[in-house]
């Protein structure tokens, strides 16, 4: 049976408290599995306003209604309001996810700080950020994390080496390249291991192979404006030919305003013959030593502002 690996990025304090419980309820209702990746330190979402100078930022904001989905209060954290410490204030919320039978892993320590800085930072800065999240995860869950999914699909070579140091067998830190219509540029794109500076890393990468909802909403694709009434159908069209996929969703979107769309997808994928599984489930089906080795590369994807880690070769 083909699989849709559900990778849930939890970026904010609000997403952890409100979106995550909603997603747990939906997933259990549809008898589906997923991996929840948590931001474990301060919520500095308000600092993201500095991205206004990045090409394509305003187009994305206007298409995806950032204020509507994230809320004014969240957009003030770190600017007009103090940044809540997500890991301290939401530890019980996170443990409830594990207790409900779902895999939990690391998204980041501080989402905005990581996403906006990691590409230019060195080994010491990178290790400190990752060790903070690793230690906080252990404090909350009582065991070491098994997996990682980078904030904003932003990494550097030191971060990938750190995953090996943490003995993480698998992660989902990057993307597969997509065409403007959301189809895979390379139909064979899938799990791989990274080759960096002549060394093949052990940690298996599971790239996201489908476009995210915020990358699609408001765009015109093949002459059709993508909105909440047709976006599920578009994604289901992309999965009509059965193959394994990794889909990234967000607690702040699919866990809240876009929850009805996610329910459509869960129902549609089941009708198409897919099982919705966690990253851990997917890893059990892979033979790491037989996976291709790919280089670390950057690229732009349709509907998203700026470059991110993407599988280009």
pLDDT per position as a tens digit, 200-214 = 999 999 999 999 999
Dist. CA 283–CA 206, nearest whole Å: 9
Burial group, residue 263, by CB count within 10 angstroms (0-12, 13-18, 19+) = middle
**Sequence spans of domains, the chain:** 3-311
Dist. CA 43–CA 73, nearest whole Å: 11
CA angle 283, 288, 294 (to 5 degrees): 110
Residue 72 pLDDT greater than 90, yes or no? no
Domain 3-311 is found in CATH 3.20.20.370: yes
Phi, psi of 70 (to 5 degrees): -100, -25
Q: How confident is the model at residue 68 (pLDDT cuts 50, 70, 90)?
A: low
Collapse the DSSP code of 216 into the 3-class scheme (helix H, G, I; strand E, B; otherwise coil) and give the result. Answer: helix
Q: Provide mean pLDDT across the span 175-194.
A: 96
Nearest to 111 by CA among 213, 20, 163, 40: 40
Q: How many CB atoms lie within 10 A of CB 1?
A: 8
pTM of the model: 0.91
Lowest mean pLDDT among 71-75, 240-244, 284-288, 294-298: 71-75
């Amino acid at each position: 049976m083909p699989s849709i690996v559900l990778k849930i990025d939890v970026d904010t304090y609000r997403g952890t408290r409100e979106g995550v419980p909603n997603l747990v309820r939906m997933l259990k209702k549809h008898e589906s599995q997923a991996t929840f990746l948590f931001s474990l330190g301060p919520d500095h979402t308000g600092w993201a306003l500095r991205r206004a100078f990045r090409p394509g930022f305003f187009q994305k904001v206007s298409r995806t209604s950032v204020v509507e989905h994230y809320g004014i209060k969240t957009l003030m954290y770190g600017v007009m309001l103090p940044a809540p410490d997500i890991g301290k204030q939401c530890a019980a919320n996170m443990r409830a996810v594990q207790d409900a039978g779902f895999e939990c892993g690391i998204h980041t320590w501080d989402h905005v700080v990581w996403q906006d800085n990691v590409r230019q930072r060195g080994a010491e800065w990178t290790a400190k950020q990752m060790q903070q999240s690793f230690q906080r995860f252990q404090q909350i869950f009582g065991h070491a994390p098994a997996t990682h999914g980078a904030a904003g699909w932003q990494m550097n070579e030191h971060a990938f080496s750190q995953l090996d140091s943490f003995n993480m067998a698998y992660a989902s830190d990057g993307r597969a390249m997509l065409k403007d219509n959301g189809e895979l540029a390379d139909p064979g794109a899938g799990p791989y291991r990274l080759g960096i500076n002549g060394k093949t890393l052990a940690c298996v990468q599971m790239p996201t192979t489908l476009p995210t909802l915020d990358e699609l909403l408001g765009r015109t694709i093949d002459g059709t404006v993508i909105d909440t009434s047709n976006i599920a159908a578009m994604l289901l069209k992309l999965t009509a030919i059965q193959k394994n996929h990794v889909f990234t969703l967000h607690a702040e979107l699919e866990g809240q305003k876009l929850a009805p769309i996610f329910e459509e997808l869960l129902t549609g994928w089941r009708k198409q013959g897919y099982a919705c599984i966690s990253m851990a489930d997917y890893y059990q089906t892979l033979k790491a030593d037989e996976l291709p080795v790919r280089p670390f590369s950057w690229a732009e994807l349709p509907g998203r502002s700026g470059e991110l880690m993407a599988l280009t070769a």
